[in-house]
Structure 1
Amino acid sequence: MVVLNKIYTKTGDAGETALGNGARVAKHAMRVTAYGTSDELNCFVGVARLEATDTVDEALSRIQNDLFDLGADMCRPDMEKDAEAEYPPLRIADAQVSRLEQEIDAMNDALEPLRSFILPGGSKLSAQLHVCRTVARRAERLAVELATMESVNPAAVKYLNRLSDWFFVAARIANNGGVDDVLWVPGANR
Protein backbone atom coordinates (compact mmCIF):
# COMPACT_ATOMS: atom_id res chain seq x y z
CA MET A 1 0.00 0.00 0.00
CA VAL A 2 1.15 3.51 -0.76
CA VAL A 3 1.14 6.10 2.02
CA LEU A 4 1.68 9.73 1.07
CA ASN A 5 1.95 11.90 4.15
CA LYS A 6 3.74 14.74 2.43
CA ILE A 7 3.04 15.66 -1.19
CA TYR A 8 6.07 17.80 -1.93
CA THR A 9 9.54 16.44 -1.29
CA LYS A 10 11.78 19.05 -2.95
CA THR A 11 13.85 16.18 -4.42
CA GLY A 12 12.84 17.19 -7.93
CA ASP A 13 13.73 20.85 -7.63
CA ALA A 14 16.91 20.36 -9.67
CA GLY A 15 15.03 18.80 -12.59
CA GLU A 16 15.41 15.14 -11.70
CA THR A 17 12.94 12.49 -10.60
CA ALA A 18 13.18 8.93 -9.27
CA LEU A 19 12.21 5.91 -11.32
CA GLY A 20 10.54 2.87 -9.79
CA ASN A 21 13.92 1.26 -9.13
CA GLY A 22 15.20 4.35 -7.29
CA ALA A 23 17.46 5.59 -10.10
CA ARG A 24 17.42 9.36 -10.60
CA VAL A 25 16.89 10.68 -14.12
CA ALA A 26 16.11 13.99 -15.77
CA LYS A 27 12.41 14.87 -15.70
CA HIS A 28 12.57 15.19 -19.49
CA ALA A 29 14.02 11.67 -19.94
CA MET A 30 12.21 9.61 -22.57
CA ARG A 31 11.02 7.06 -20.00
CA VAL A 32 9.48 9.80 -17.84
CA THR A 33 7.88 11.38 -20.92
CA ALA A 34 6.41 8.01 -21.93
CA TYR A 35 4.84 7.13 -18.59
CA GLY A 36 3.89 10.76 -17.97
CA THR A 37 1.83 10.66 -21.15
CA SER A 38 -0.03 7.59 -19.87
CA ASP A 39 -0.83 9.64 -16.75
CA GLU A 40 -2.11 12.47 -18.98
CA LEU A 41 -4.27 9.92 -20.80
CA ASN A 42 -5.64 8.71 -17.48
CA CYS A 43 -6.77 12.26 -16.71
CA PHE A 44 -8.62 12.51 -20.03
CA VAL A 45 -10.27 9.15 -19.29
CA GLY A 46 -11.44 10.60 -15.98
CA VAL A 47 -13.05 13.50 -17.85
CA ALA A 48 -14.75 11.11 -20.28
CA ARG A 49 -16.16 9.13 -17.35
CA LEU A 50 -18.20 12.19 -16.35
CA GLU A 51 -20.35 11.61 -19.46
CA ALA A 52 -20.26 7.81 -19.58
CA THR A 53 -23.14 5.42 -18.98
CA ASP A 54 -22.81 2.55 -16.51
CA THR A 55 -21.32 -0.05 -18.87
CA VAL A 56 -18.87 2.36 -20.50
CA ASP A 57 -18.02 3.88 -17.12
CA GLU A 58 -17.18 0.43 -15.73
CA ALA A 59 -14.88 -0.24 -18.69
CA LEU A 60 -13.25 3.18 -18.36
CA SER A 61 -12.71 2.51 -14.65
CA ARG A 62 -10.83 -0.71 -15.54
CA ILE A 63 -8.82 1.21 -18.12
CA GLN A 64 -7.86 3.87 -15.57
CA ASN A 65 -6.58 1.17 -13.25
CA ASP A 66 -4.69 -0.46 -16.13
CA LEU A 67 -3.11 2.90 -16.95
CA PHE A 68 -1.73 3.08 -13.41
CA ASP A 69 -0.39 -0.45 -13.95
CA LEU A 70 1.16 0.79 -17.19
CA GLY A 71 2.79 3.72 -15.41
CA ALA A 72 4.19 1.38 -12.76
CA ASP A 73 5.51 -0.87 -15.52
CA MET A 74 7.05 1.95 -17.56
CA CYS A 75 8.71 3.66 -14.59
CA ARG A 76 10.64 0.48 -13.85
CA PRO A 77 13.53 -0.06 -16.31
CA ASP A 78 15.79 -3.10 -16.46
CA MET A 79 13.19 -5.78 -17.07
CA GLU A 80 16.00 -8.33 -17.17
CA LYS A 81 16.54 -7.66 -13.43
CA ASP A 82 12.89 -8.28 -12.46
CA ALA A 83 13.75 -11.64 -10.85
CA GLU A 84 16.36 -9.97 -8.64
CA ALA A 85 14.03 -7.24 -7.38
CA GLU A 86 13.03 -7.26 -3.72
CA TYR A 87 9.37 -6.99 -4.82
CA PRO A 88 8.26 -8.26 -8.23
CA PRO A 89 7.67 -5.22 -10.44
CA LEU A 90 4.16 -4.73 -11.76
CA ARG A 91 4.05 -5.37 -15.50
CA ILE A 92 1.20 -5.13 -18.01
CA ALA A 93 0.10 -8.68 -18.82
CA ASP A 94 -1.07 -10.15 -22.11
CA ALA A 95 -4.41 -10.88 -20.39
CA GLN A 96 -5.03 -7.12 -20.16
CA VAL A 97 -4.43 -6.82 -23.91
CA SER A 98 -6.77 -9.76 -24.57
CA ARG A 99 -9.51 -8.18 -22.46
CA LEU A 100 -9.35 -5.02 -24.58
CA GLU A 101 -9.54 -7.11 -27.76
CA GLN A 102 -12.63 -8.95 -26.48
CA GLU A 103 -14.30 -5.66 -25.53
CA ILE A 104 -13.45 -4.13 -28.93
CA ASP A 105 -14.92 -7.14 -30.73
CA ALA A 106 -18.11 -7.04 -28.63
CA MET A 107 -18.61 -3.31 -29.23
CA ASN A 108 -17.77 -3.56 -32.92
CA ASP A 109 -20.29 -6.38 -33.43
CA ALA A 110 -23.04 -3.88 -32.56
CA LEU A 111 -21.90 -1.38 -35.22
CA GLU A 112 -22.45 -1.12 -38.95
CA PRO A 113 -19.19 -1.29 -40.92
CA LEU A 114 -17.57 2.05 -41.64
CA ARG A 115 -17.94 3.33 -45.19
CA SER A 116 -16.11 6.60 -44.55
CA PHE A 117 -13.56 8.01 -42.20
CA ILE A 118 -15.21 9.77 -39.28
CA LEU A 119 -14.46 13.09 -37.66
CA PRO A 120 -14.13 13.39 -33.89
CA GLY A 121 -17.42 14.63 -32.51
CA GLY A 122 -21.09 13.83 -32.51
CA SER A 123 -21.79 13.49 -28.81
CA LYS A 124 -19.79 15.01 -25.98
CA LEU A 125 -18.67 11.56 -24.79
CA SER A 126 -17.63 10.54 -28.30
CA ALA A 127 -15.51 13.69 -28.68
CA GLN A 128 -13.85 13.02 -25.31
CA LEU A 129 -13.14 9.41 -26.27
CA HIS A 130 -11.50 10.62 -29.48
CA VAL A 131 -9.23 12.85 -27.39
CA CYS A 132 -8.37 9.75 -25.34
CA ARG A 133 -7.68 7.87 -28.58
CA THR A 134 -5.19 10.45 -29.83
CA VAL A 135 -3.40 10.73 -26.48
CA ALA A 136 -3.20 6.92 -26.36
CA ARG A 137 -1.59 6.98 -29.82
CA ARG A 138 0.95 9.56 -28.61
CA ALA A 139 1.70 7.42 -25.54
CA GLU A 140 2.19 4.44 -27.84
CA ARG A 141 4.57 6.37 -30.12
CA LEU A 142 6.62 7.43 -27.10
CA ALA A 143 6.72 3.87 -25.74
CA VAL A 144 7.86 2.58 -29.12
CA GLU A 145 10.55 5.26 -29.29
CA LEU A 146 11.68 4.40 -25.76
CA ALA A 147 11.90 0.74 -26.78
CA THR A 148 14.54 1.68 -29.37
CA MET A 149 16.73 2.96 -26.52
CA GLU A 150 15.87 0.90 -23.46
CA SER A 151 14.03 -2.18 -22.28
CA VAL A 152 10.22 -1.88 -22.51
CA ASN A 153 7.62 -4.53 -21.78
CA PRO A 154 6.22 -5.55 -25.21
CA ALA A 155 2.79 -6.13 -23.63
CA ALA A 156 2.72 -2.46 -22.55
CA VAL A 157 3.20 -1.35 -26.16
CA LYS A 158 0.51 -3.77 -27.36
CA TYR A 159 -1.83 -2.53 -24.63
CA LEU A 160 -1.48 1.08 -25.80
CA ASN A 161 -2.04 0.02 -29.41
CA ARG A 162 -5.25 -1.84 -28.56
CA LEU A 163 -6.36 0.91 -26.19
CA SER A 164 -6.47 3.53 -28.94
CA ASP A 165 -8.57 1.11 -31.01
CA TRP A 166 -10.83 0.59 -28.00
CA PHE A 167 -11.38 4.35 -27.70
CA PHE A 168 -12.20 4.59 -31.42
CA VAL A 169 -14.87 1.90 -31.27
CA ALA A 170 -16.23 3.19 -27.94
CA ALA A 171 -16.52 6.68 -29.49
CA ARG A 172 -18.71 5.20 -32.22
CA ILE A 173 -20.84 3.43 -29.62
CA ALA A 174 -21.20 6.78 -27.81
CA ASN A 175 -22.55 8.25 -31.07
CA ASN A 176 -25.80 6.34 -30.85
CA GLY A 177 -24.19 3.13 -32.06
CA GLY A 178 -22.47 4.93 -34.94
CA VAL A 179 -25.71 6.50 -36.24
CA ASP A 180 -24.56 9.97 -35.18
CA ASP A 181 -20.94 9.59 -36.38
CA VAL A 182 -19.72 12.69 -38.19
CA LEU A 183 -18.51 11.54 -41.60
CA TRP A 184 -15.52 13.03 -43.36
CA VAL A 185 -16.41 14.50 -46.75
CA PRO A 186 -13.14 14.66 -48.73
CA GLY A 187 -12.57 18.06 -50.33
CA ALA A 188 -15.90 19.42 -49.05
CA ASN A 189 -14.59 22.95 -48.58
CA ARG A 190 -12.55 23.47 -51.74
Structure 2
Amino acid sequence: MVQLTRIYTKSGDKGKTGLGNDERVYKNSARIEAIGEVDETNAAVGWALEFCAGNLKNLLLRIQNDLFDVGADLCVPEPAETSTTHRLTVTSAQVDYLEHQIDELNARLSPLTSFVLPGGSKASAALHLARTVSRRAERGIVTLSLAEKLNPEIMRYLNRLSDLLFVMARFVNTEEGQGDVLWVPGANR
Protein backbone atom coordinates (compact mmCIF):
# COMPACT_ATOMS: atom_id res chain seq x y z
CA MET A 1 0.00 0.00 0.00
CA VAL A 2 1.16 3.53 -0.74
CA GLN A 3 1.78 5.82 2.22
CA LEU A 4 2.53 9.47 1.60
CA THR A 5 3.83 11.37 4.58
CA ARG A 6 5.12 14.42 2.67
CA ILE A 7 3.56 15.95 -0.40
CA TYR A 8 6.58 17.93 -1.53
CA THR A 9 10.06 16.45 -1.73
CA LYS A 10 11.96 19.17 -3.62
CA SER A 11 13.53 16.40 -5.73
CA GLY A 12 11.82 17.75 -8.85
CA ASP A 13 13.00 21.32 -8.51
CA LYS A 14 15.52 20.91 -11.33
CA GLY A 15 13.06 19.53 -13.86
CA LYS A 16 13.46 15.83 -13.22
CA THR A 17 11.21 13.26 -11.59
CA GLY A 18 11.60 9.68 -10.46
CA LEU A 19 10.19 6.61 -12.14
CA GLY A 20 9.11 3.52 -10.26
CA ASN A 21 12.52 1.92 -10.83
CA ASP A 22 14.28 4.94 -9.21
CA GLU A 23 15.52 6.22 -12.59
CA ARG A 24 15.40 10.03 -12.87
CA VAL A 25 14.03 11.51 -16.12
CA TYR A 26 13.09 14.97 -17.32
CA LYS A 27 9.49 15.94 -16.66
CA ASN A 28 8.93 16.57 -20.37
CA SER A 29 10.05 13.09 -21.43
CA ALA A 30 7.62 11.08 -23.55
CA ARG A 31 7.05 8.71 -20.62
CA ILE A 32 6.16 11.48 -18.17
CA GLU A 33 3.98 13.17 -20.81
CA ALA A 34 2.09 9.87 -21.27
CA ILE A 35 1.69 9.42 -17.51
CA GLY A 36 0.38 12.98 -17.24
CA GLU A 37 -2.12 12.43 -20.04
CA VAL A 38 -3.41 9.30 -18.29
CA ASP A 39 -3.72 11.37 -15.10
CA GLU A 40 -5.69 14.02 -17.03
CA THR A 41 -7.94 11.26 -18.36
CA ASN A 42 -8.57 10.12 -14.80
CA ALA A 43 -9.48 13.68 -13.77
CA ALA A 44 -11.86 14.00 -16.73
CA VAL A 45 -13.48 10.67 -15.79
CA GLY A 46 -13.81 12.01 -12.23
CA TRP A 47 -15.61 15.07 -13.58
CA ALA A 48 -17.97 12.90 -15.65
CA LEU A 49 -18.62 10.80 -12.56
CA GLU A 50 -20.24 13.85 -10.93
CA PHE A 51 -23.08 13.68 -13.48
CA CYS A 52 -23.65 9.91 -13.49
CA ALA A 53 -25.40 7.56 -11.08
CA GLY A 54 -25.94 3.87 -10.46
CA ASN A 55 -24.15 1.38 -12.68
CA LEU A 56 -22.49 4.09 -14.77
CA LYS A 57 -21.05 5.71 -11.66
CA ASN A 58 -19.71 2.34 -10.49
CA LEU A 59 -18.24 1.71 -13.93
CA LEU A 60 -16.47 5.09 -13.91
CA LEU A 61 -15.07 4.42 -10.43
CA ARG A 62 -13.68 1.11 -11.69
CA ILE A 63 -12.15 2.90 -14.69
CA GLN A 64 -10.49 5.44 -12.40
CA ASN A 65 -8.85 2.63 -10.47
CA ASP A 66 -7.75 0.97 -13.72
CA LEU A 67 -6.25 4.26 -14.89
CA PHE A 68 -4.05 4.26 -11.80
CA ASP A 69 -2.96 0.76 -12.86
CA VAL A 70 -2.10 2.19 -16.29
CA GLY A 71 -0.03 4.92 -14.62
CA ALA A 72 1.73 2.37 -12.43
CA ASP A 73 2.50 0.24 -15.48
CA LEU A 74 3.90 3.27 -17.31
CA CYS A 75 5.98 4.50 -14.40
CA VAL A 76 8.19 1.40 -14.42
CA PRO A 77 9.93 0.86 -17.76
CA GLU A 78 9.72 -2.67 -19.15
CA PRO A 79 12.40 -4.78 -17.48
CA ALA A 80 14.88 -6.96 -19.33
CA GLU A 81 13.52 -10.37 -20.33
CA THR A 82 15.60 -12.03 -17.62
CA SER A 83 14.47 -9.66 -14.86
CA THR A 84 12.63 -11.05 -11.86
CA THR A 85 11.15 -7.65 -11.02
CA HIS A 86 7.48 -7.85 -10.13
CA ARG A 87 5.51 -4.92 -11.43
CA LEU A 88 1.88 -3.95 -11.74
CA THR A 89 0.75 -4.30 -15.35
CA VAL A 90 -2.49 -3.73 -17.20
CA THR A 91 -3.99 -7.07 -18.21
CA SER A 92 -6.07 -8.33 -21.10
CA ALA A 93 -8.85 -9.04 -18.56
CA GLN A 94 -9.14 -5.30 -17.93
CA VAL A 95 -9.47 -4.69 -21.68
CA ASP A 96 -11.99 -7.54 -22.00
CA TYR A 97 -14.10 -5.97 -19.26
CA LEU A 98 -14.29 -2.69 -21.19
CA GLU A 99 -15.27 -4.56 -24.36
CA HIS A 100 -18.04 -6.35 -22.47
CA GLN A 101 -19.35 -3.03 -21.14
CA ILE A 102 -19.28 -1.51 -24.63
CA ASP A 103 -21.25 -4.45 -26.04
CA GLU A 104 -23.80 -4.34 -23.19
CA LEU A 105 -24.50 -0.62 -23.50
CA ASN A 106 -24.32 -0.45 -27.29
CA ALA A 107 -26.90 -3.24 -27.62
CA ARG A 108 -29.41 -0.88 -26.00
CA LEU A 109 -28.75 1.95 -28.49
CA SER A 110 -30.11 2.58 -31.96
CA PRO A 111 -27.62 2.41 -34.85
CA LEU A 112 -25.92 5.68 -35.75
CA THR A 113 -27.11 7.55 -38.84
CA SER A 114 -24.62 10.42 -38.57
CA PHE A 115 -21.65 11.54 -36.53
CA VAL A 116 -22.56 12.57 -32.98
CA LEU A 117 -21.87 16.04 -31.62
CA PRO A 118 -20.61 16.15 -28.03
CA GLY A 119 -23.43 17.27 -25.77
CA GLY A 120 -27.08 16.77 -25.15
CA SER A 121 -26.92 16.48 -21.39
CA LYS A 122 -24.32 17.48 -18.80
CA ALA A 123 -23.41 13.84 -18.26
CA SER A 124 -23.01 13.20 -21.97
CA ALA A 125 -20.90 16.33 -22.49
CA ALA A 126 -18.64 15.35 -19.57
CA LEU A 127 -18.28 11.80 -20.94
CA HIS A 128 -17.39 13.17 -24.38
CA LEU A 129 -14.77 15.42 -22.79
CA ALA A 130 -13.31 12.40 -20.97
CA ARG A 131 -13.35 10.53 -24.31
CA THR A 132 -11.32 13.21 -26.06
CA VAL A 133 -8.82 13.42 -23.20
CA SER A 134 -8.42 9.62 -23.29
CA ARG A 135 -7.79 9.82 -27.05
CA ARG A 136 -5.00 12.32 -26.37
CA ALA A 137 -3.55 9.95 -23.77
CA GLU A 138 -3.69 7.16 -26.35
CA ARG A 139 -1.75 9.32 -28.82
CA GLY A 140 0.87 9.94 -26.12
CA ILE A 141 1.15 6.20 -25.52
CA VAL A 142 1.67 5.64 -29.25
CA THR A 143 4.46 8.24 -29.26
CA LEU A 144 6.12 6.56 -26.29
CA SER A 145 5.72 3.08 -27.80
CA LEU A 146 7.67 4.18 -30.88
CA ALA A 147 10.67 4.94 -28.66
CA GLU A 148 10.40 2.41 -25.83
CA LYS A 149 9.00 -1.04 -25.20
CA LEU A 150 5.58 -0.94 -23.51
CA ASN A 151 3.02 -3.41 -22.33
CA PRO A 152 0.70 -3.61 -25.39
CA GLU A 153 -2.34 -3.89 -23.11
CA ILE A 154 -1.89 -0.23 -22.17
CA MET A 155 -2.63 0.92 -25.71
CA ARG A 156 -5.50 -1.54 -26.05
CA TYR A 157 -6.98 -0.37 -22.74
CA LEU A 158 -6.95 3.32 -23.70
CA ASN A 159 -8.35 2.57 -27.15
CA ARG A 160 -11.29 0.66 -25.65
CA LEU A 161 -11.75 3.26 -22.94
CA SER A 162 -12.41 6.03 -25.43
CA ASP A 163 -14.87 3.75 -27.26
CA LEU A 164 -16.65 2.98 -23.99
CA LEU A 165 -16.86 6.66 -23.04
CA PHE A 166 -18.42 7.39 -26.45
CA VAL A 167 -21.03 4.66 -25.97
CA MET A 168 -21.68 5.82 -22.41
CA ALA A 169 -22.26 9.39 -23.64
CA ARG A 170 -24.81 8.12 -26.15
CA PHE A 171 -26.41 5.87 -23.54
CA VAL A 172 -26.80 8.72 -21.03
CA ASN A 173 -28.53 10.91 -23.62
CA THR A 174 -30.87 8.06 -24.54
CA GLU A 175 -31.65 7.31 -20.88
CA GLU A 176 -32.36 10.99 -20.19
CA GLY A 177 -34.69 11.20 -23.21
CA GLN A 178 -32.32 13.54 -24.99
CA GLY A 179 -31.18 11.28 -27.81
CA ASP A 180 -28.05 11.80 -29.85
CA VAL A 181 -27.13 15.27 -31.02
CA LEU A 182 -26.35 14.58 -34.67
CA TRP A 183 -24.04 16.44 -37.01
CA VAL A 184 -25.84 17.95 -39.98
CA PRO A 185 -23.19 18.47 -42.69
CA GLY A 186 -23.25 21.99 -44.13
CA ALA A 187 -26.17 23.05 -41.93
CA ASN A 188 -24.94 26.61 -41.52
CA ARG A 189 -23.71 27.48 -45.00
Report the TM-score range of the alignment, normalised by the length of the smaller protein.
over 0.9
TM-score by length of 1: 0.96
8 Å contact 1:79–1:153 — kept in the other structure? no
Matched, 1:181 2:189: no
**CA distance in structure 1 between the aligned counterparts of 2:69 and 2:134, rounded to whole angstroms:** 15
Deviations 1:40-61 (A, max 9, x none): 1101111111111111000000
Report the equivalent of 1:168: 166
Q: Which runs of 5+ in 1 are unaligned?
A: none
8 Å contact 1:82–1:89 — kept in the other structure? no
How much has 1:145 moved relative to structure 2? 1.0
Report the equivalent of 1:25: 25
**CA distance in structure 2 between the aligned counterparts of 1:62 and 1:123, rounded to whole angstroms:** 22
Residues 184/82 of structure 1: CA separation in 2 closer, same or farther (3 Å cut) = farther
**CA distance in structure 1 between the aligned counterparts of 2:117 and 2:47, rounded to whole angstroms:** 20
TM-score by length of 2: 0.96
8 Å contact 2:131–2:165 — kept in the other structure? yes
Aligned residues: 188
Percent identical residues: 53
8 Å contact 1:34–1:142 — kept in the other structure? yes
Report the equivalent of 2:53: 53
8 Å contact 1:79–1:152 — kept in the other structure? no
8 Å contact 1:45–1:64 — kept in the other structure? yes
Q: Map of 1:139-158 to 2, 5 A cutoff?
A: 139-158=137-156
Q: What secondary structure, in the 3-state scheme, does the structure 1 residue paired with 2:125 have?
A: helix
Q: Which runs of 5+ in 2 are unaligned?
A: none
| Amino acid in structure 2 at the alignment position of 1:173 | F
| Amino acid in structure 1 at the alignment position of 2:170 | R
How much has 1:81 moved relative to structure 2? 5.2
Matched, 1:76 2:76: yes
How much has 1:78 moved relative to structure 2? 2.5
8 Å contact 1:79–1:151 — kept in the other structure? no
**CA RMSD, 1 decimal:** 1.2
Report the equivalent of 2:102: 104
Residues 122/82 of structure 1: CA separation in 2 closer, same or farther (3 Å cut) = farther
